[in-house]
Structures are given as C-alpha cells and as structure tokens.
Structure 1
C-alpha cells in the first residue's frame, strides 16, 4: 500500500513508538523537513521548518518529540542581512584547515547541531552548539539522555577522531561516553534497559577505514569498553557497493531481552545479518546466499527480522525471517515490471591468482546477445574507497555497458573490504602500486577466456577507481 503521493522525495520513514504515525523526511518544501502521516489514512503534514533542513532524526520514547540533525543556527535577526549578502557572493573565505569534504565540496562552515523538535506543535530548540558536527543521535530508553557522535577533542581541526557523547534531553549538560584523539567510533545503540551502549569502530582514527571496525559495548556511564568481535576477521558494517541502492545506516540492534546484538557484516562479496552474544563470542550468520542484505529491523518481540535484500540482477526487495534467519519470506516484488522489460547479463564469479599468489575475487559479465566464437571489447571497472567492496548487488552502469556489447570485468583487489584486515591494509602507503598487479591479473584471466578483443580494452572507475584508472 502506497502511503505518500506527492511529487517529491519522501524517505527515511520511522514508526512512532505507539505505531499510530510514520515520520519521514521530504523535500516538498525544498529542503528536507520532518513530516508526519497517520497510519490509518489522511494527508501528511509538515512538522519542522528549520531553515537549513534536517539530515536525520529519531523519535523520543514517549512519541512526543524528535531529536533532529540540522545545520540551522538561531542567528540574531540583525545578522540576517549580512548572511544574505554572504550567500550571494561566490567568494570563499577560508578560515579553517578543514575546508572541503568528499560529496560536499567547499564547506559552508555551518556545523550540524542537534535540535529538539516537538511532534505535535510547539517551537523547536537547539540542544548542541559545538563548532563541529554532532550527528547520529539516539534516545536512551527512559528518554532522559541522547547519545550522539561528535569530535570534541582539543585537536579536532587536525585529527579525524569520532567520539560518543551524551546530552540531557531537556538541558545542556553534556558528557563524554568514550573518546580521545585515537577514537573512531559511531552507530551508538542503547541496550533495552539503558545500562549499556553498543557501538562500532576501533581505536585507530588515523587508519582511514583500513582497519576492521569491531562491535563494542560500554556502560552507560562510560568507562572501559569491551570488544565483542575482535577475533572475527571481518569488519562490522555493510561495505558493499551498488549504483541502485545506497549503503544503509543500520546501527547495531539489541534483542528485546538484551542477550544478543544484530549487525551487518560484509564477507567475500556478500553482506549478511549476524547475531553476536552481548557478552562476546563468534558472530553467527543468520542470512545466506550470494546477495547483499542491507537495512534491517527487529519486531517488537524480537521474533522476526525484516530486511532489504538484493542481488546482481535485482535491485532489492523486502523480506521477513525468524530471528534465527529461518523461514524466510519475500514480501515485495517491486521491480518485476522493470525487470520483465529488459535483458540483463548475469555476472559470472571467478577467482584469480595475483603474481605473488594471493587469491583475488572478481566477476565477468558477457554482453547481452553473446555469441560464442566472437570477440568483444572489454571494460575494466575499478571501485572507489579503496576500502569498499564490489558485491553480489546490482550495478546499473555495468548492465548498460553489457547491453551495449561490452564485456565487463570488476574485481576486489587488495585494499578492498570484506576479505580480512590483512587484505585491506595491504596497500597502505602503496596506493596504485600493490593493487595494480591484482587488477591486471583479472584482465589477463579475462583475455585468456578467448572472447575478449585485447586490442579494444577500456578502463574506468569512480573516486579511487578514477585514481587507479
């Protein structure tokens, strides 16, 4: 059943605690704002009017308010004209060492703050006012505190630390839960009784994503955190790539009894849901198959998991399974009309030896209408990151190339995520040098299959893949 019909982008839906409303972000008023919709019908109405829009939000446990992330500031009215003049100018006055960001370009030097927004009428007010971003907020079960991600270190202009802090929901009292110059933590998640927080990360902020992110727990008051997955040689999180579905921001989810924590883990080209005992232990894989499982949630009684699952020839659909991964049922078939009207190339998995003997994972796509005995031009695709992972997930760009008569080859050379920490860190201080033999080994393998015209080879990629190209 379709719930919204506006000519706009509606996303990030969140159930109210009592299940009677759905809150979501929409750009109906240009910048993304909070909107509410009654589940039993009726038109949606706008809740927030923050001038810089909202980038994320969470319901309070009592369902009466939201904590929202916004760049909005409460500038005095006498500064409004100065602000308007500054926005009209194309001159950039750089006053901080951190002035550009991937995906944003030149920064506007307006940090993201936490705001408290009433759900059913009333004025919003700003909770935090730091000179650096405060993001990823989550309420404590009793509604008294909000945990969030920030960097309040003294050297924050020069480091890449990511700390966990908490603020009183109805005041300005802030406290550090876990942090420091070397901290690289995020995705906080309160235990059901509020006594602990689970989170993801490591103590190596300067590693730039090369080292595995572990699952941790720490007492709500702070103190020494306990790693739960440090003996598991895969990073916590979804590192898969797709151009039809972005990575999901699913934080660790606790079972209602607090005994287990559910996370996503990427391994050898697939991403699946795992459960980890709250006291530590080997993660237990719950879903399986050559696919990418992404956003997921637990039922209120913890008996079922709902999740999005896609594959190389399907953008993704909604599934439900028991909390142990059994009795999976597909609930939607959203792309049947589209898929029924196109011819797709099914990627064929291969493994190849790099010159030093390392095993490199890749896929090859034959052109649509492939004829044995003919030779075809080939395009090599190289992913960005470099700490990411091509996966058993749909790539529209690759399908378009195959439809135009190209062989497409894509691989996960060393430096990629999903194959162990040593594999990911192998290219440290050697980008484009240590990984190139891995990529070229796949090219040689593809040519050896006999249907690639070695005089018509192309190479392309995005971000780090562009650098490699």
Structure 2
C-alpha cells in the first residue's frame, strides 16, 4: 500500500507558481476522478483517477481508497491500464476488480494482489452475482457475414463490406456483423463454465451501442435473474427507433420476459431495490425522441403495477439510486444551469404524487452518485472552475464535504476567473439564464474580446460542467470573456423549454444566441469590435447559421463537427431517429420539412463574409466528414479567410492526448490571428 500525503493528493502534477493561469498542458496533467463503490462495510469509498501521458499519447486509470470519516487516501494500484471494482467483502475487506479483462483480488489496503482468472478472451462489463456463484459479462458474437473475409474466406487479404440494410455504421465504427451479447456462467475460483448466451443468434447489442456499459445488465438481489437492456430491432427499424426495452432472464426457467413491452421510447438504467421486490428505471414515452422527458418508473414484481414517480414533475431525470432502506430514491437532474441532487420519498405508498425535494443547491454540478453510507451519499461534483472530485452529501441538510482532493493543490495555485449568472431577455420576451466567465485578472475599466459559446446536443444541459476541451477557464486565462447562454432546447428550465428546439433548429434558438451576445455587448468592458462565436455539433451548426445572419456582429468563428448541409447530413448520419424528430423527416417527397431550406446553413452561405476555423473528425459518423469539407470549400471559394483542422482518427470528440493539444493550440492561434 502506498500512503498519500493529504486526502487524495494523488497525482504527481507539475507544480504551478502562485497566480499562474490555466494552460493546455496543465489542463491535461489534471487527474480525472470518478467513483467506483462504497465498500460493503460502509467505511470507505473506492475511486479511480485517470491520468494522461501526453508524450506517450496514452492514459492509465488507477484505484484509490479514502475513509468516509476523513483521513488520508490510499493508492491501491499502480499498474498500467484501466481497472474497475467488481465487489468488496464486508468482513475481510477484500476487493475483487477487473484489470485488462481479467479478474483480480487484493486486500483492502491494496496488498496481496492475485490474478484469479486467465481467460483466453478478455471479458467486458463483468458483474459477479450477489451470492458469488455466477458471473455475467459481455462478448462479441459473429451473427452476420458482412466483411469479405467472412463471406469469402479464401480471399484472406481482401477488405470489403457488404450491406443490405441500414445501421451500417454507428458513432465511429463500421458494422462488421458482430454484436455484443450478454453471457451468464458458473463462477468458481476464477474459472467460468457452462456459459449461456442470453441472446442466441440475435443481431442486437447489449450493452447498447455506442455508449452502454455494465449498467445495461444487472443481477437481481437473490441472484436468480438478470435484467438487461437492448433494442431488439435491426437495420432500418433500428436506425429510426429509440425503443429499448428491459428484458428479465430467469436462471431457473431459462425464459426471458420483456418487462417494458408496452413502453415505446427509451427504457434504460434498471436498478433493483435492496429487497428485490421492485425495480426502477428511466423511461421516455415517445419512440424516436432521444431527448424526451426522462421519467423515473417503478415496477412492483408482486402486484405487476408500474408507477411513474416523476410524471407531474417539470424536469428530466439524468440518473438515480435507491435509498439503502428502499423507502426513497435519489436522482440527479439539471436545474437552472446546474445539476443537483433530488430526493423522492414515499415511493412505496399508493399516492400518485410523490414528494420531491431538492437536496443540494449551489453553483456546481453533481453528476454522479457513487453510493450511500448511512445518512450520507457519495457523489461526484464539479464546476466550471474545478475538475471533478468526490464529496459526501448530508441527506438531511444538503451540506457537501470534500472526500478527495486530487487536484486541489494545483487549483489552489491558479488564478481563476469569476463565473457569474446573467439573466437575458429574449426576442420573444422570455427570461434566459447565461453563464459569464471573466478573465482571472478582469478589470472592468478595460475592454475584452468576447466569445459566444454555442452548446451542442442540441438538448444537452449547459450547466456547471468542467470540460477538457471546451474549457472556459482556459479561454478566460487567454484574456477572453465567455458568455454561455441556456438557449431554447436545454434541460433544467422546464420540459416546454427543453422541447422547444425540435423542428426549430435555426429559429428561436439562434435568436437566443443573438440576444445573448447583444446583451453582453452593452457592457463597457466588452470590445464590440472583437466578438467571436464558437461551438461543436449543434453548436458548430449554430456557428455556421450565425455566419449567414449575424450582420457583422462577429469578427471570427470556430465550428467543430458542425452540420452545414442538412440534406447531405440526413443522407450520411446514422441515428436517423434524431434527424426525423429534430428536422422533421426525410428531405424528399411532395412536402419535405421546411427546415431543409429555411434552417440549413448552406442556404445562407452567400452571406458569409467572416473568417472561420472548421474542425472535423475523420471517424465522426454522427456529423460526417462531408459537413466540414463542404463548409471549408465554400469559405475558400468565396475568398474568406478560413482554415481546416482535420483529425483523421477522431470521432465526434477529441480523445487522443496529443490531438487534444493540437486542438487547443490551433484554437487559440486562430483567435489570436482573427480576434
């Protein structure tokens, strides 16, 4: 065991001088904290810290333990690669964990590490049954012959794909005929036997693609059944539907029951209560609407009744966890530009309306619940000035107490800019919240270049998130004011506000952006001749739209993976349910949606006259490469100062450490040149 000086002073982060400001290099030296579990005895929290080696262009995630009563954190692992906790033993404290697809154990202090399994194929998304006798995991299974080597084995040097239906690629991966399936097997002393595929022969994925994990397949508390999440649709049906379901597999009968067959939208995130008498999950009502109101539902196994706990609540649930006594549920949700912890009580009573109480308040995001110990929850908290750390929440008062301080030493030596809330009146007389981030050395008697940040999603919350790409403190440290409005379409301001963007991409939401920049530009410290607009995904689309209608407000633009031509986008994107709902359907037919002409940036390119940096990922299949190339080509042919930053091996995000450094350097180089 390695002792850490101070609670969670984990990382060997390069020291910074007093009053130093954030830099791209320092940003990527920060430890990225995420919770694992509260130990079975309720005395410690185990968490992971991911660190990046920019020179080697790789990351490592190691495990740590911190006592909940306070005290020094202990480093449990130091090997390269990723690790995740499978279980802890209440009596011995022994920790079972997954490392590089193999099962390991160690003592509670990190000593006596032993590799338990030696599977020929590394396992993913592993869960050991509560009684310790079985294991579930996921593995790719060849179902279809798509690749030429599978169709014509004698042509072993060929490289071709053959498709007869849609969903031929997803996110950043081409479909190869293999699907992730859930398996259950007997588990004795690290050996598995009697494997059973719960989805034999089915061309469906569990976990869900592309972001599903071990949360998509869980054990019942009595170890007699497994609940898993999948969308049992293929091809075109898959591409236009969000109708995932919860399937219950009985180990005794070997039969599978669709628990949510009557529900037509997303059904995800199942979790049993402690006794196993009920199961809760997140549910959306409308098929094809990925940003529908996310309600919290409960199924009672004895009565068969389904109860919607948040039906009357004007918000959308992000995640949840049962109270350890089964009487309450805690959930997280966006609210007024933040993400907070809420409590639902009386979940077992028959009254239709359940009391909902907001537990926490403040200018921060609480974006993960790790576990519970008595009257406290362990959560992950961050804000625009600070990367995530773990905290204890006193459930009776909402008081937050820091558990980890992985990056505290670094942030204590940084000069950080002020983050303020600003209320803006929109063109349709609505009140809109915006966050304003000021430079660390802000002087109201001076004038500053100002950036309008356009959020993606388009229904993602613009809360107090800490981004390692769109890092507002890094922008502020370079002398810019940033205004980040909660325009139409974002959760946290009521369901109606959240829903208002669908079908109106280039309408009121874009006017909201103009209202925001016009409002902040009234301040004497804003240099009206040095305004810029930046954003990615729908934010990149917004930048392209603003380039055609801004009437010389802006001096520069930066668009990352933005939609430029809605017609060509509809013909190349993969999750067509999103395009059908938000744009209105296909562009052909006798009466195609008006948005293809009215709200497509390509239709306004004749009005472009402002420098633009265009960033495009080569394996982005959500907003594919033709979008960025079309925009760049148009700008070039119009004689507009423009630059293309092409990242051939990045998807809709920027994952590689060195590519992230290139992104930041080109970002600020462009602003220096044009603003």
Unaligned runs of 5+ in 2: 1-73, 208-215, 544-675
What is the alpha-carbon root mean square deviation over aligned residues? 3.0
Deviations 1:124-143 (A, max 9, x none): 62432331112311111110
Aligned equivalents of 2:259, 2:152: Cα separation in 1:
36
Cα separation, partners in 2 of 1:46 and 1:317, compared to 1, 3 Å: same
Which of structures 1 and 2 has the larger relative contact order (alpha carbons within 8 angstroms, sep 6+)?
2
1:67 corresponds to which residue? Answer: 136
2:115 match:
45
2:165 alignment partner in structure 1: 96
Larger proportion of helix: 2
Name the CA shift for 1:340/1:192 in 2 (closer, same or farther; >3 Å). closer
In structure 2, C-alpha distance between the alignment counterparts of 1:462 and 1:221, rounded to whole Å: 48
1:260 to 328, 337, 342: 328
2:339 counterpart residue number:
271
Residue 411 (str. 1) matches residue 491 (str. 2): no
**Stretch moving more, 16-25 or 267-276:** 16-25
Structure 1 residues 455 and 465: alpha-carbon distance in aligned structure 2, compared to 1, 3 A threshold = same
Query: Scaled by the length of structure 2, what TM-score is found?
Result: 0.61
Structure 1 position 128 matched with structure 2 position 210? no
* 1:385 to partner: Cα distance: 0.8
Displacement after TM superposition at 1:417 (Å)? 1.3
Q: Which residue of 2 aligns with 1:143?
A: 223
C-alpha separation in 2, matches of 1:2 and 1:459 = 43
Q: CA deviation at 1:123?
A: 2.7
- Deviation, 1:418, is 1.4
Contact 2:384 2:473 in 1 (8 A): no
How many residue pairs are counted as aligned between the two chains?
445
C-alpha spacing 1:329/1:415, structure 2 compared with 1 (3 Å):
same
Distance change >3 Å, CA 72–CA 296, structure 1 → 2:
same
Inter-partner Cα distance in structure 1 for 2:116 and 2:522:
59
Equivalent of 2:523, from 445, 449, 453?
449
| Cα distance change on mapping 1:87 and 1:347 into 2, 3 Å | farther
* Structure 2 residue aligned with 1:114: 182
| Alpha-carbon separation, structure 1, partners of 2:155 and 2:414 | 49
Q: Which 10-residue stretch deviates more, 336-345 or 65-74?
A: 65-74
Find the residue that maps to 1:66 and give its secondary structure.
Answer: strand
Give the C-alpha shift of residue 394 in structure 1.
2.5
The answer to whether the 8 Å contact 1:270/1:292 transfers is yes
Using the alignment, how far apart are the partners of 1:266 and 1:374 within structure 2?
Answer: 35
The within-5 A match list for 1:19-418 is 20-27=93-100, 34-40=103-109, 41-43=111-113, 45=115, 47=117, 49=119, 51=121, 53-54=123-124, 56-72=125-141, 90-102=159-171, 104-116=172-184, 118=187, 120-123=189-192, 125-129=195-199, 130-135=202-207, 136-152=216-232, 155-156=237-238, 158-169=240-251, 172-180=254-262, 182-209=264-291, 211-220=292-301, 223-237=304-318, 250=319, 252-277=320-345, 278=347, 279=349, 280-299=353-372, 302-326=374-398, 328-396=400-468, 397-418=471-492
Please, which moves more after superposition, 348-357 or 164-173? 164-173
> What does the per-residue CA deviation read over 1:409-437, in whole Å, with 9 as the maximum and x for residues that have no partner?
21210011111110011112111222001
Q: Secondary structure at the match of 1:465?
A: helix
TM (norm. structure 1) is 0.85
Could you tell me which residue of structure 1 aligns to residue 577 of structure 2?
Answer: none
- 1:3-33 CA-to-partner distances (Å, cap 9, x unmatched) read 11012233x4343354634344444xxxx55
In the TM superposition, what whole-angstrom CA distance separates every residue of 1:63-94 from its partner, at most 9, and x where no partner exists?
3443223335699xxx9988999997553333
5+ residue gaps in structure 1?
238-249
The corresponding residue for 2:601 is none
2:254 and 2:487 mapped to 1: Cα distance?
Answer: 47
Alignment check: 8 A CA contact 1:236 1:264 kept: yes
C-alpha contact (below 8 Å) 1:191/1:258 kept by paired residues: yes
Task: Report the Cα offset of residue 35 of structure 1.
Answer: 4.2
Residues 47, 119 of structure 1: 8 Å contact kept: no
